[in-house]
A and B are shown apart, each in its own frame.
Chain A
Amino acid sequence: AQSVTQLDSQVPVFEEAPVELRCNYSSSVSVYLFWYVQYPNQGLQLLLKYLSGSTLVKGINGFEAEFNKSQTSFHLRKPSVHISDTAEYFCAVTPHRGSQGNLIFGKGTKLSVKP
């Protein structure tokens, strides 16, 4: 079985500051990893994904994440945030075997960007 832990439920940050949202996972098998963003009153939108290859993955809106297998982490980063980045961010995993339908989500991190 897999599980995902997002260590921070809320992260307040000032505009133009860097941000890191932490994600750790637990799995006995290899997994694919994802970050989704949810803006108010909307569904989830894929930010980026790690399937294989380079451990540094770049996504939309200037976000990137780094897969660290030894630490079982997939932290999300952005060097300079905007007000419009205020949203909830979800880390998710799915085992290599089987379809990517069986996503296991973390509880989410609410990013609040202040002017």
Chain B
Amino acid sequence: ETGVTQTPRHLVMGMTNKKSLKCEQHLGHNAMYWYKQSAKKPLELMFVYNFKEQTENNSVPSRFSPECPNSSHLFLHLHTLQPEDSALYLCASSQSNQPQHFGDGTRLSIL
């Protein structure tokens, strides 16, 4: 039990579909993050939320849309994705300047 839960663990979708990834943290942290992990590439930070406010958007295409309704929940809404978007999407949370805790990720495959 990592304290950060991601659902679903696996997702296969077509390029025209709309789906959402969910992340929930039970650690009382005030910051949440989305990362993309592709084969043979460093982890890429996508979005950062502090106290529900987005503080970082690393030039992520608009087909990825984050939502943070409260400090415990983070969503990543997906629409009209491309094959190169197939990857492991990791969620993390942290408290102030403490290290991040990661979920087990959602393995996304785009057909």
Contact = CB atoms under 8 A, between A and B. Distances in A.
Interface residues on B, range: 20 to 34
A105 B43 contact: yes
A42 B104 contact: yes
B56 interface: yes
Interface in A37-64: 41-46, 49
B4 A102 contact: no
Interface size class of A (residues with CB under 8 A): 20 to 34
Given A43-B105, A101-B50, A103-B45, 10 more contacts: A43-B90, A43-B103, A44-B102, A45-B2, A90-B43, A100-B98, A101-B48, A101-B55, A103-B43, A103-B100
Interface of B: 2, 4, 6, 31, 33, 40-43, 45, 48, 50, 55-56, 90, 92, 94, 96-105
Interface of A: 4, 34, 36, 41-46, 49, 90, 99-108
5 closest A-B pairs by CB: A43-B102, A105-B43, A44-B102, A105-B42, A43-B104
